[in-house]
Structure formats: structure tokens, C-alpha cells
């Protein structure tokens, strides 16, 4: 069984990757999380772009474990905030990973922004780095609008505040989509879809 490490502390990303791999019918690929490998010092996510940060995470995973390594760096880019929070999305409120505080701050910052200027995009860059040094970086984007209050129980992070533009999601936040609906439309779904052939090949190596 081939192994790939998802160098992420976010369990929701692990679940999304597992669903994409299962939906693609890829068998023979075991996805490990950081909890499944010996602890190693993680480097700061201090890149200027999602792509740089995804590479930082994937390269350090390969260096530490010798396993093929996948990493996602993602966030929400709000038009009215000139693309911020962007790479700072996970720590926008100053407390890393505090979804509730991050969402509250974003809502407050946009309180005077009218509906027609609440456009935003979720962005995901995914990097796959192999022990032989091969590096592949892909990107997916998901356009929508920032709502005026949180809505819906699913997903994570900014999902309750994000209303996708796509017709099938009409009138719902991304936290009101089923996991399968989110995968088929989302930034991460679009990025990971581009890596499916490489993951299939990894699995086939046994
Ligand atoms: O770095 P790792 O360990 O992978 O996990 P993380 O949660 O810190 O992930 P990022 O550094 O990539 O930060 C991404 C932030 O952007 C937000 N985000 C990314 N994808 C999202 C999604 O699909 N739905 C909602 N929010 C998302 C979420 O709030 C995250 O805190
Ligand atoms: Mg992070």
C-alpha cells in the first residue's frame, strides 16, 4: 500500500482529501496525517502566496519523513479588503485557528460594505512533493459573496459566511452544502482534482 502524508493540522482538510481520493476510485493509497507520523519541527507559514506556503509545508514533510507529501494552503480573499485576509486567513483575528473570532472580525470589517461589493474568493494551493524532488503545485478558486451573518452547520472556517456564486448552491452558504456538493464546487475540490492523476500513479506504484 502506497502512503502519502497530508502535512496539515486541520482534520477537515484530511477528510476532504480522503473524500476526493475515494470519489476518484483510487484504492491502494493510505493517507496519513501529521498525527500518524513522528513529530517534527514545522516551519512557519510565512510565504507571501498560498503556493509558497503549500510548498513550505510539503517540503518539510518530505524532509522529515521521506514520504510523498501533500499540503494545502488556503484562505478567503475579499475584494473590498484588497484580497485580504488571504494568506493570513487562519490567524486574521490574531488567534490562529479561532474560526469564530476570525469570522466575527471579518463581519465587523465589512459591516458598512453594501451587498454589491461583498464579492470574495476562496483560494486553495495544493503542493505535492515527492522524495525524488518532483514538485507539483496547483490552484483552485471559488467565487462567492460574504454574507451578513453565519449560516449553516457543515464545513469549517469561513464556510458559514460564504455564499457561492454557483447556480447549484443558490441561496445557501457553503456550510449549508452537503460535503459532496462542497467537493464538487470548492477551491480545494478544484485544486485536488488536478492532482488526482498523480495520486493515482502513486497508488499504482504499490
Ligand atoms: O496549515 P494547516 O495545518 O494545513 O491548517 P490550517 O487550518 O492552518 O490551514 P491554512 O493555514 O491553510 O489556513 C486556511 C484558513 O482559511 C480558511 N479556509 C480554508 N479553506 C476553507 C474552506 O474550505 N472553508 C472555510 N474556510 C476555509 C480557514 O479558516 C483556515 O483557517
Ligand atoms: Mg496553517
Residue 50 CB–ligand 1 contact under 6 Å: no
pLDDT digits (tens, 9 = 90+) for 171-189: 999 999 999 999 999 999 9
Residue closest by Cα to atom 13 of ligand 1: 90
The yes-or-no verdict on residue 206 having pLDDT over 90 is no
- Fold of the domain built from segment(s) 2-204: Maf protein (3.90.950)
Residue 73 CB–ligand 1 contact under 6 Å: yes
Q: From the annotation, which residues make up the binding site for substrate?
A: 8-13, 74, 156-159, 182, 187-188
Residue 93 CB–ligand 1 contact under 6 Å: no
Nearest ligand (C-alpha, residue 72): 1
Question: Which of 102, 139, 157 is the pocket-test mutation for ligand 1 (most atoms within 8 Å of CB)?
Answer: 157
Domain boundaries, the chain: 2-204
pLDDT digits (tens, 9 = 90+) for 4-63: 999 999 999 999 999 999 999 999 999 999 999 999 999 999 999 999 999 999 999 999
29-32 vs 135-146, strand pairing mode: unpaired
Residue closest by Cα to atom 24 of ligand 1: 159
Nearest ligand (C-alpha, residue 89): 1
d(CA 42, CA 29): 24
The yes-or-no verdict on residue 199 having pLDDT over 90 is yes
Please give the grid coordinates belonging to residue 40: 517534527
Residue closest by Cα to atom 12 of ligand 1: 73
The yes-or-no verdict on residue 131 having pLDDT over 90 is yes
Nearest ligand (C-alpha, residue 75): 1
d(CA 51, CA 68): 17
Q: From the annotation, which residues make up the binding site for Mg(2+)?
A: 73
**What integer is the mean pLDDT of 68-75?**
98
Residue closest by Cα to atom 7 of ligand 1: 10
Residue 51 CB–ligand 1 contact under 6 Å: no
Q: Is 125 within 8 Å of 50 (Cβ atoms)?
A: yes
**What integer is the mean pLDDT of 143-168?**
97
Element (H, E) at 37: none
ipTM at complex level: 0.99
Please identify every residue annotated as catalytic: 73
Residue 159 CB–ligand 1 contact under 6 Å: yes
Amino acid at each position: 500500500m502506497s502512503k502519502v502524508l497530508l502535512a496539515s493540522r486541520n482534520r477537515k482538510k484530511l477528510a476532504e482529501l480522503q473524500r476526493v481520493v475515494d470519489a476518484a476510485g483510487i484504492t491502494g493509497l493510505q493517507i496519513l496525517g501529521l498525527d500518524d507520523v513522528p513529530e517534527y519541527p514545522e516551519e512557519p507559514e510565512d510565504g507571501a502566496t498560498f503556493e509558497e506556503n503549500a510548498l513550505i509545508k510539503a517540503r518539510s514533510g518530505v524532509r522529515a519523513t521521506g514520504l510523498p507529501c501533500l499540503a494545502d494552503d488556503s484562505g478567503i480573499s475579499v475584494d473590498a479588503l484588497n484580497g485580504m485576509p488571504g494568506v493570513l486567513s487562519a490567524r486574521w483575528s490574531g488567534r490562529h485557528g479561532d474560526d469564530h473570532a476570525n469570522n466575527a472580525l471579518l463581519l465587523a470589517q465589512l459591516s458598512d460594505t453594501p451587498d454589491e461589493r461583498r464579492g470574495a474568493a476562496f483560494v486553495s494551493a495544493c503542493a505535492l512533493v515527492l522524495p525524488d524532488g518532483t514538485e507539483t503545485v496547483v490552484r483552485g478558486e471559488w467565487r462567492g459573496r460574504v454574507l451578513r451573518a453565519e449560516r449553516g452547520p457543515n464545513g469549517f472556517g469561513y464556510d458559514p459566511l460564504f455564499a457561492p456564486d454557483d447556480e447549484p448552491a443558490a441561496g445557501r452558504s457553503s456550510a449549508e452544502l452537503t460535503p459532496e456538493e462542497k467537493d464538487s464546487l470548492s477551491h480545494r475540490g478544484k485544486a485536488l482534482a488536478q492532482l488526482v492523476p498523480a495520486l493515482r500513479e502513486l497508488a499504482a506504484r504499490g
